[in-house]
């Protein structure tokens, strides 16, 4: 399966980067063709410009500034996102990726008020870390979990649940909890 691996963390030495490397290695070991999209390393511009907003619904003119990323997304059969959760949301880099690349005419069509999915992504997984505990995330409504398990599922393949792997309470983690989560990610991604 051709898997688009999206990574969104600015620090190469971070635990998030270690998760990203593990996911890439495990997907490759599992026999997948991995398209490695490290948004920070590639210098992706997450800012929706005036031009982007004006042409947002104007397919195919809306993809003029992001066509390479659109091509990669359209070629994907699987999607894995590795990102931290900051302030109960995704980093601006990842949010900007969705705003600028998941465009009308690319990921969906809207005709006569009806939305039609256009992606051919069969499987989705999200690997993430939270500073907060699971309970605090729950009390805050856990937007990243909902975006992953509901929105991404509807936009890709509603018949198949999204695999959501989260290490909560990074503010109080230990080498043991980090190692255990890294091992869980390794196993899950080898079976993706």
**Phi, psi (degrees; rounded to nearest 5) at 107:** -100, -20
Q: What is the pLDDT along the chain (192 residues), one digit of tens a residue?
A: 999 999 999 999 999 999 999 999 999 999 999 999 999 999 999 999 999 999 998 999 998 899 999 999 999 999 999 999 999 999 999 999 999 999 999 999 888 888 888 999 999 999 999 999 999 999 999 999 999 999 999 999 999 999 999 999 999 999 999 999 999 999 999 999
Per CATH, the architecture of 2-190 is what? 3-Layer(aba) Sandwich (3.40)
- pTM, full prediction: 0.95
Which region holds residue 35: left if phi is over 0, alpha if psi is between -120 and 50, else beta? Answer: beta
115, 109 in Cβ contact below 8 A? yes
d(CA 130, CA 169) in angstroms, rounded, equals 6
Half-sphere exposure of 150 (CA within 13 A, CB side): 6
């Amino acid at each position: 399966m051709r898997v688009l691996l999206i990574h969104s963390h600015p620090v190469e030495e971070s635990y998030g980067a270690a998760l990203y490397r593990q996911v890439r290695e495990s997907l490759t070991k599992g026999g997948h063709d991995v398209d490695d999209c490290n948004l920070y390393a590639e210098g992706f511009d997450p800012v929706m410009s005036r031009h982007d907003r004006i042409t947002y619904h104007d397919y195919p003119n809306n993809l003029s500034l992001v066509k390479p990323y659109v091509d990669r997304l359209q070629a994907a059969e699987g999607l894995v996102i590795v990102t931290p959760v900051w302030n109960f949301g995704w980093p601006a880099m990842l949010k900007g990726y969705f705003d600028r690349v998941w465009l009308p005419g690319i990921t969906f069509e809207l005709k006569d008020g009806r939305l039609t999915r256009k992606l051919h992504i069969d499987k989705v997984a999200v690997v993430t870390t939270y500073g907060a505990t699971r309970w605090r995330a729950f009390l805050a409504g856990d937007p990243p979990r909902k975006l992953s398990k509901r929105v991404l599922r509807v936009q890709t393949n509603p018949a198949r649940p999204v695999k959501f792997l989260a290490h909560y309470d990074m503010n109080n983690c230990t080498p043991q909890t980090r190692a255990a989560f890294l091992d869980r990610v390794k196993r899950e991604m080898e079976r993706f």
